[in-house]
Amino acid sequence: MSDNWLEKVNWAADGLVAAIAQDAGTGSVLMMAWMNREAFKLTVQTGEATYWSRSRKRLWHKGEESGNIQRVQEVRLDCDGDVVLLKVEQDGGIACHTGRASCFFSRLEQDKWVEIDPVLKAPDEIYQKKI
């Protein structure tokens, strides 16, 4: 497989592209993360989501600590080429490091954020080290 498909991506100045993970079955948006070329290429090659961690400054295979791997079913690129959409099967049903199904668990109600989705599993039960 040639890498020409990577040239269609409109990489930001820092070499990253936004990546949205969406549940392939329900359509729910699970999370947003960043990918560099290597992460995107690994994701396509392995069929499992790999991202670039800006805080850790390294590749991050989703589920490497939690076991909640994202199995990629489909990859799409938006019309501007600057956002990747991954349609995934989320192992364990937990995408967020807070132990929720989705990272988008807070809803703006009036002038405050309200947590509307439950914690499915406490983070200290998911991770060997506390976050």
Contact call for residues 9 and 80 (beta carbons, < 8 A): no
Give residue 52's pLDDT: 98
pLDDT of residue 129: 55
For residue 9, the Cα-to-chain-centroid distance in whole angstroms is: 17
Q: What residue has token string 């199904």?
A: 101
pLDDT at residue 130, rounded to an integer? 43
> What is the reported pLDDT for 126?
87
Domains of the chain: residue spans and CATH: 4-125 (3.10.20.810)
The structure's pTM equals 0.90
pLDDT by residue for the chain (131 residues), tens only, comes to: 677 899 999 999 999 999 999 999 999 999 999 999 999 999 999 999 999 999 999 999 999 989 999 999 999 999 999 999 999 999 999 999 999 999 999 999 999 999 999 999 999 888 865 44
pLDDT of residue 69: 96
Beta bridge partners of 118: none
What does the DSSP assignment read for 43-110? HHHHSB-EEEETTTTEEEETTTTT---EEEEEEEE-TTS-EEEEEEEEGGG--STTSSS-S--EEEET
